[in-house]
Structure 1
């Protein structure tokens, strides 16, 4: 559980650091952090988290809407 939480936090932080320079890359890194528990389970690590597709769809929609809002604000 500690490894997955650490990896998710690290990827979110890196995504936030990358976002001002390259929005698409930063968004991709932040969305990748959502997949850490699923990938950890593939390697036999117990993450105690099951993949919930509605959670993934909600996170993706939120990230896309946030990117649009930031792009509009930057364009003004």
Structure 2
């Protein structure tokens, strides 16, 4: 004896090409990509923050220890 099968009254919807994204879901990654690309193409515009000399010396020591 077979069990009765139930059919769905409406077809199942999948989130795919038919779903819509909000405007910022495309705008923000595009803006970030353009900003990073601009920094790569013109690195003179990217100015490093002045740090504490103690931190700079610490990083130099760590780099020397790793290089050994």
TM-score by length of 2: 0.34
Q: Which has the larger radius of gyration?
A: 2
The structure, 1 or 2, with the larger RCO (C-alpha pairs under 8 Å, 6+ apart) is 1
More helix by share: 1
Q: What TM-score do you get using the length of structure 1 for normalisation?
A: 0.31
